[in-house]
């Protein structure tokens, strides 16, 4: 399987799956699957810990829910990428 740079960006660093609802961290600029990052932040905060950015190599160690914004552009890019792929397999 050939993984191009653009396809790699569709993958959530937490789930390792293609994102359906990507959210962007305003602070470090990384994107994650919304459900996965929210769950991660909540479970860390329950244990009174800070949530580190799950992206490998990122030094951001205090990811907050308020720093996450919906990444509409990326969501559309993933959708159109999937549409193309589906058409191709028909």
Cα dihedral 71, 37, 63, 32 in deg (nearest 10): -40
Question: Closer CB to Zn ion, residue 11 or residue 58?
Answer: 58
Q: Reduce the DSSP state of residue 24 to 3 states and report it.
A: strand
Count of residues in contact with Zn ion, rule CB under 5 A: 6
28 is a site residue for Zn ion (CB under 5 A) = yes
Cα dihedral 60, 64, 65, 66 in deg (nearest 10): -100
Ranges within 54-83 binding Zn ion (CB under 5 A): 55, 58, 60
Supply the minimum distance, in Å, between the C-beta of residue 55 and Zn ion.
Answer: 4
14 is a site residue for Zn ion (CB under 5 A) = no
Interface ranges with Zn ion (CB under 5 A): 28, 30, 53, 55, 58, 60
């Amino acid at each position: 399987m050939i993984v191009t740079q653009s396809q790699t960006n569709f993958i959530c660093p937490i789930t390792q799956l293609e994102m359906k609802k990507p959210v962007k961290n305003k602070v470090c600029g990384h994107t994650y699957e919304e459900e996965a990052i929210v769950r991660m932040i909540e479970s860390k905060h329950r244990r009174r810990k800070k949530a580190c950015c799950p992206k490998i190599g990122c030094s951001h160690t205090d990811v907050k829910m308020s720093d996450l914004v919906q990444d509409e552009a990326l969501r559309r890019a993933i959708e159109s990428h999937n549409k193309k792929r589906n058409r191709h397999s028909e």
